[in-house]
Chains A and B, each alone.
Chain A
Amino acid sequence: MNLRLYLWQRGTAALLAPLILIHLAVIFYATRQGLTAADILSRTRGSIAWALFYGAFVAAAAIHAAIGLRNILAEWGGLGGRTLAFCAVGFGLALALLGLRAVAAVVLP
């Protein structure tokens, strides 16, 4: 890991910490209040705030996890060079794609 990857990893971690707490609070709220899927969708559909919140969450998680996986593949898997970059970037993109698809499913009107 170099300084650039370190800054990205620590930066996304700092962003994720409050986002995860809010995410957990939202889960508790939704289950405690017994919200149905329809209730939840009525609140999230068309909401720019929820789109931004979970969009940022997915982006930060994808970057953070990709850098972590890159370290594991380099240190434990012995990968390096292009293969390493390809695996890490591919994993990050896949996470971002899956996450953003899920966000789109709940926020698009």
Chain B
Amino acid sequence: MAGTAHREPARPDLAVSIWRGDAGGAYADYRVPQRANQTVLDIVTFVQREIDPGLSYRFSCRVGMCGSCAMTVNGRPRWTCRTHVSKVAKNGRLTIGPLANLPVIKDLATDMAPFFQKWQAAKGVFSPSKTRHDAIEPIKPSSPERVAADAGVECINCGVCYAACDTVAWNADYLGPAALNRAWTLVNDVRDTGGKERLRAVSAAGGCHACHTHQSCQQHCPATLNPTASIAGLKRATVQAWLKGEIEP
């Protein structure tokens, strides 16, 4: 019919189960209208705004930059702001829970403290070799060190890899893919002075050598990083440092 605005075809509601409560909580069921280009975060937001304002969850940027919106969606850890419902819903059903391997505070909000504490334990903090009064050190983007650092540097700290890693689930001391990936980018940062300390930190029990290389982290990382490769790099670097007598086994 000429002049009629395009209308979305009517879709059945989605059957959504969302985790409510702390670790001892349970899934609660909701019906949410389907829309075109709807994200999983849109679903959670709809439930909070239209059905139950008491629902707790985190988000900020909504464009895949801040790393705060990760949840477990139909059994897999994902960034929800950039996960389309059409890609993950199974038979019109969605199950949304908090990230695995982290303590649940309430509903979809987990306590990220252990994740960032391990980031610190892996010495994932830049130790500068210069002060603000020194000239800026020129770094060639094509140098092998910079290429290696660049490959892992775009981490958004979302914790998806941490939730996807079986070794984190099995070994409470394991630093996890994100912290180790961060350590590897700093090992390759020629301006950093914390090298030996960092290699020592990632060589202790629960460090890079605990990784089983099953690549679940790489499979799930929404920023398409490859923490497994970074961890393999750390394994090589620690062995080389040991051979040179720089660190003790």
Contacts and interface: CB of A to CB of B under 8 A. Distances in A.
Contacts of A3: 203-204, 207, 209, 238-239, 242, 247, 249
Interface in A1-49: 1-7
Interface residues on B, range: 10 to 19
B235 A1 contact: no
B205 A1 contact: yes
B22 to A, nearest CB: 23
Interface string B194-207: 00000000011101
Contacts of B170: 74-76
B171 interface: yes
B204 A2 contact: yes
B209 A2 contact: yes
Contact of B203 (A2, A75, A76): A2
Interface string B77-102: 00000000000000000000000000
B242 A2 contact: no
A14 to B, nearest CB: 12
Interface string B220-244: 0000000000000001001100100
Contacts of A75: 167, 170-171
Interface string A75-91: 11000000000000000
A42 to B, nearest CB: 44
Contacts of A5: 209
Interface residues on A, range: 10 to 19
A81 B246 CA distance: 28
A2 B205 contact: yes
Nearest to B247: A3
Given A1-B209, A1-B210, A6 B171 contact: no
Contacts of B205: 1-2
A74 B203 CA distance: 18
A14 B188 CA distance: 28
A6 B209 contact: yes
Contacts of A76: 170
A4 B242 CA distance: 10
Nearest to B242: A3
Given A1-B210, A74-B171, A7 B239 contact: yes
A76 to B, nearest CB: 7
A7 B243 CA distance: 11
5 contacts: A1-B205, A2-B207, A3-B204, A3-B209, A5-B209
Interface of A: 1-7, 74-76
